[in-house]
Amino acid sequence: MFTNRRTVRIEWGDCDAAGIVYFPRYVEYFDACTVHLFEAAGFPKPEMLKRFGMAGYPMVDLRLKFLVPSTFGEDVVIASTVTEFKRSSFEVHHRLLRGEELAVEGFETRVWTVFDPERPGRLKSRAVPDEVRAAFAKA
């Protein structure tokens, strides 16, 4: 499976009063890493939105597992992988590493969406394009 790795520096503003990462920041890190994952597979998000006429790939399920805290000034590596494509949804697994130590895991389910022409302002799912599936299979 194709995995993208991204280094993130833990900034002062990411941390709570105890100097450890405030948990919602991990959601932001992982969201950005999903964008970088698709870009590394050849699908920069701005181009992908236009190319496929999509609205985006909103998160519909999220689970985080905290093992070791991350602190101000550290550089961590986030390894992100699409572990499964279904018809219109896909699973993303993120592993945040402090050195070789697994610190946080994130599990996302996202849905490929387009704007629904029959219900203005609403989204509807659409099958993940074969081209996208193929890029992740060979990457």
Domains of the chain and CATH, by start: 3-138 (3.10.129.10)
SS3 27: helix
* Spatial separation of the C-alpha atoms in residues 139 and 124, rounded to whole Å: 28
Take residue 43 and report the two structure tokens written for it. Answer: 């699908």
SS3 66: strand
Per-residue confidence of the chain (139 residues) as pLDDT tens digits? Answer: 899 999 999 999 999 999 999 999 999 999 999 999 999 999 999 999 999 999 999 999 999 999 999 999 999 999 999 999 999 999 999 999 999 999 999 999 999 999 998 998 899 999 999 999 999 998 6
* Spatial separation of the C-alpha atoms in residues 88 and 100, rounded to whole Å: 34
pTM: 0.94
SS3 98: strand
